[in-house]
Amino acid sequence: MLMVLCSGGHSPGVTTAGLALTLTWPREVLFAECDPAGGSVLSGYLVGHRQERGLGEWAVQLRRGVNAMASLAEQVLQVDGRRILPGLASPSQVSSVQPLWPDIAGTFTTMAGDVIADVGRIGGTDTPVPLLAGADQVLVIAQPTLRDLSALAPRLAEITAVRNHRSSPRVLLTGDGPYGRKEVARTLGVEVVGHLPHDPKAAAVLTHGTGSERHLSRSLLLRATRSLATKLCERVTA
């Protein structure tokens, strides 16, 4: 199962939500950082890990015709029983990856286990459309604020168009704001799958690699994502 996470215009914690879901996912899972704007996990959550692995090096191997599955395995980091594919070291690398998105999407959709792919903001010319089109689920991350929700509506329409007859994108709310799940769902005509709490201590571990790992494991954020992860898995299985 391939699940793509993105934002509709701003960046309200897509990578944070993706990592939190990965850490609480009840099945085998790979977190793939596929944001064209560049990756952040190696300078944040995975600070201190090997810097030469990731999406950029995998793209080099794919262009050479190396087997996609075998070369992907060489680029993945194993962290506490979870697999993570770090993103691009620089946005300048995206031009070399752009023609490979169909192959990357095909690999993710056929590999064993689940894949959570973080594509960051969408809507630009560098948006990895094949990942959005081929995913089993697309979750658009947004804060329940007017600024985020006003940017969200046109992006939902764009995603629906590229997905043709596949399931519609859904929304995952994060952080504080004046609008509740039911109001957002009713106003935008979209399913809201959950609302992750504002938890700056837990977020700091995932975004900057600072703070207590022990706090992270029992945080409000991971408790919320653990419940959400189970729901998302059950939906695909059903």
Residues linked to residue 79 through DSSP beta bridges, in sequence order: 82
Q: Beta strand 192-196 with 77-79: parallel, antiparallel or unpaired?
A: unpaired
Residue 44: closest CA among 75, 5, 87: 87
- State which fold the 2-233 domain adopts: Rossmann fold (3.40.50)
The pLDDT of residue 49? 77
Asked if residues 82 and 60 have their Cβ atoms less than 8 Å apart, the reply is: no
The pLDDT of residue 140? 96
What ranges do the domains of the chain cover? 2-233
Asked if residues 218 and 201 have their Cβ atoms less than 8 Å apart, the reply is: no
CA 190 – CA 156 distance, rounded (Å): 9
Q: Which tokens in the block code for residue 17? A: 């939500």
One digit per residue, the tens of pLDDT, for the chain of length 238 reads 999 999 987 666 899 999 999 999 999 999 999 999 999 898 899 887 777 889 999 999 999 999 999 999 999 999 888 999 999 988 888 888 999 999 999 999 999 999 999 999 998 899 999 999 999 999 999 999 999 999 898 999 999 999 988 999 999 999 999 999 999 999 999 999 999 999 999 999 999 888 777 788 889 999 999 999 999 988 764 4
- Residue 111's identity, in one-letter code, is M
The pLDDT of residue 213? 76
CA 236 – CA 238 distance, rounded (Å): 6
The pLDDT of residue 12? 66
The pLDDT of residue 90? 82
| Ramachandran angles phi, psi of 181, nearest 5° | -60, -45
Residue 139: closest CA among 17, 9, 10, 16: 17
Residue 121: closest CA among 26, 235, 11: 11
Asked if residues 155 and 190 have their Cβ atoms less than 8 Å apart, the reply is: no
DSSP 44-79: TTTTTS-SS-SHHHHHHHHHTT--HHHHHHHHPEEE
The pLDDT of residue 238? 42
Residue found by looking up tokens 């975004």 in the block: 207
What is the SS3 string spanning 24-51? HCCCCEEEEECCCCCCCHHHCCCCCCCC
